[in-house]
Amino acid sequence: MNGNEIWIWLAVGLVPYRVARKHLAGGVRTLEVRALFWSLAVRLRQSGRHDWTVSVPLVRRLRDAVWSAVMRLRGGESPEA
């Protein structure tokens, strides 16, 4: 892989591919933005409270894989997600 390909893949991973807005019961609104390398979810409540959730899927998948490997080495079952 040359330097240009790395920059292209990095740009592809950072650009959002999904933006979704939803209106839920009780006046709660959600905004969800997803990209290959990250995701963001914001819940807006009528009371003015905002709940933010930022996630890095690659880190979550690596954590799950390492935990599964550790549990198999110990002879236990892997945890359900």
In a domain, 46, yes or no: yes
Q: Is 1 helix (H, G, I), strand (E, B) or coil?
A: coil
Q: State how many domains the chain has.
A: 1
Task: Find the domain containing 10 and state its range.
Answer: 3-55
Confidence check: pLDDT of 77 > 70: no
Q: Cα dist. 41→7, 54, 64, 68 in Å?
A: 26, 7, 21, 27
The answer to whether the CB of 53 falls within 8 A of the CB of 41 is: yes
Q: Is 17 helix (H, G, I), strand (E, B) or coil?
A: coil
In a domain, 24, yes or no: yes
- Report the C-alpha gap between 2 and 33 in whole angstroms: 30
What confidence tens digit (pLDDT) does each residue in 28-74 have?
999 999 998 899 999 999 888 999 999 988 788 888 999 999 999 98
In a domain, 66, yes or no: no
Return the structure tokens found at 73. 């080495």
